[in-house]
Amino acid sequence: MKKLESIGIKRLDIILIAIYIIIAIGLFFLTFLSSDIKGDFVEIYLDNKLWARYELPQKGYKDISVIGKGKNIVRISSEGVCIIESSCSGQFCVHQGCVNDSKTVITCLPNGLLVQIVGRENDDIDMVSY
């Protein structure tokens, strides 16, 4: 009886360890893949100066009013970033649509606004250069 009990506990331990390893690997790949696909932060520049920095939300969206020379409403979401409303005459920034990678920037020249997505790697470089 004692032998059987100890074997039972060992099996349970192995199963638990296996589950922990699977969860750990899964979490590692999830964070690795998600950080590789797109940047993590949105930087908003007004007149070439960093005005604000926001973390991209995991779900849903957040609207930010940027008031400088004019007014822009910047929407950040898990899908990316876009300007949804602007006081400028051309509305080019609104028509530019959403951006979800760090290679493209959205600009509103009349209002002196620039919006871009930056990854964590870029973030580290910025920290050093400041």
> Which residues lie near Zn ion (CB under 5 A)?
86, 88, 93, 108
Instruction: Determine which helix (DSSP H) or strand (DSSP E) holds 74, and give its type and residue range.
Output: strand 71-77
Nearest approach, Cβ of 86 to Zn ion (angstroms)?
Answer: 4
Nearest approach, Cβ of 51 to Zn ion (angstroms)?
Answer: 15
Rounded-to-integer distance, Cα 41 and Cα 126, Å? 13
- Closer Cβ to Zn ion, 96 or 122, answer by number: 96
Q: Cite the DSSP H helix spans in 38-103.
A: 92-95
- Closer Cβ to Zn ion, 48 or 129, answer by number: 48
- Closer Cβ to Zn ion, 96 or 100, answer by number: 96
Nearest approach, Cβ of 31 to Zn ion (angstroms)?
Answer: 35
- Closer Cβ to Zn ion, 77 or 111, answer by number: 111
Count of alpha carbons within 13 Å of 56, Cβ hemisphere only? 25
- 22, 14 in Cβ contact below 8 A? no
In Å, what is the CA distance from 38 to each residue of 1, 76, 85, 120?
Answer: 57, 13, 24, 10
Nearest approach, Cβ of 129 to Zn ion (angstroms)?
Answer: 29
